[in-house]
Amino acid sequence: MAHITASVYTSHVPAIGAAIDLGKTHEPYWQKVFDGYEFSKQWMRENRPDVIFLVYNDHATAFSLDMIPTFAIGTAAEFQPADEGWGPRPVPKVVGHPELASHIAQSVIQDDFDLTIVNRMDVDHGLTVPLSLMCGQPDRDIGKDSAKNNGAWPCPVIPFAVNVVQYPAPSGRRCFNLGRAIRKAVESFDEPLNVQIWGTGGMSHQLQGPRAGLINREFDNAFLDRLIEDPQGLAQMPHIDYVREAGSEGIELVMWLIARGAMSDNAPRVRHRFYHVPASNTAVGHLILENT
């Protein structure tokens, strides 16, 4: 039986990827961000999973505004880093886990969550920046062409894309319950795999309009507290509260409830917590929770 051992939550700010790729991590501005992930990289080395189920949102990269699935599971054998306008990030391709992904699709769809099955997709900063933050930069040929890349991420990754780009986005409650269905699916997979589930995006940020640059430390820290202690209560929070308190892009935080819903019903062990402002126009939040 496969099982979920831990969940990881992190912002996925694209400028963090650019700072890594351009060798700026030791500049004073960025050092403060990356210091918060030193523990996490060590933890990843010591707790390397067999598979990462990575919840993120596509930022109109693989899906255009022509077609937007609410929940999409990547079942392919591999996924290439996307070109978001400056060429693909010089990071390894993402190796998938088609067997586990197909099993989860089967189980979760039969549990009444309608997933879109994606057999071909490039993955954007929403997925690659969390991998960089948690795993560091794998050995690689320096160069723009990711096809030349010799490095590899530490394990297969199942991309799971959630629509938070165009309304209506799924509710926190639905995300939490979907996480529970994913847990059930993982636990019925007939191989002894150690699976981590990651929720990405957030924290407070607004990239557009008169409130651009909005940061709400109080809301962000209360969100982290409640995610740990009262996820089911937090899952009842309506969208309008995310947008009002955490800015228009703060709605990305609903994705964290998928990862939290996939955790055991017992209280988790908090291995790491980090919060920092700013990175680009965004607050950075990060948690590592282990199942006990």
By the criterion CB under 6 A, which residues form the site for ligand DHB? 12-15, 59, 201, 205, 207, 249, 252, 280-282
The answer to whether 159 and 123 have CB atoms below 8 angstroms apart is: yes
Quick one: 122 or 249, whose CB is closer to ligand DHB? 249
Contacts of 46 (CB under 8 A, 6+ apart): none
Known active-site residue 59: no
Number of alpha carbons in the 13 Å side-chain half-sphere of residue 129:
27
The answer to whether 261 and 231 have CB atoms below 8 angstroms apart is: yes
Nearest distance, CB of residue 286 and ligand DHB, angstroms = 13
Structure token pair of residue 87: 């060429």
Q: Which of 125, 272, 276, 286 is catalytic?
A: 125
Quick one: 87 or 143, whose CB is closer to ligand DHB? 87
Number of residue whose CB is nearest ligand DHB:
280
Known active-site residue 205: yes
Structure token pair of residue 35: 């210091």
Quick one: 126 or 136, whose CB is closer to ligand DHB? 126
Structure token pair of residue 29: 């501005």
Q: Which of 97, 103, 205, 286 is catalytic?
A: 205
Verify cis geometry, omega within 30 degrees of 0, for the bond prior to 203: yes
Structure token pair of residue 259: 């990862």
Catalytic residues: 125, 205
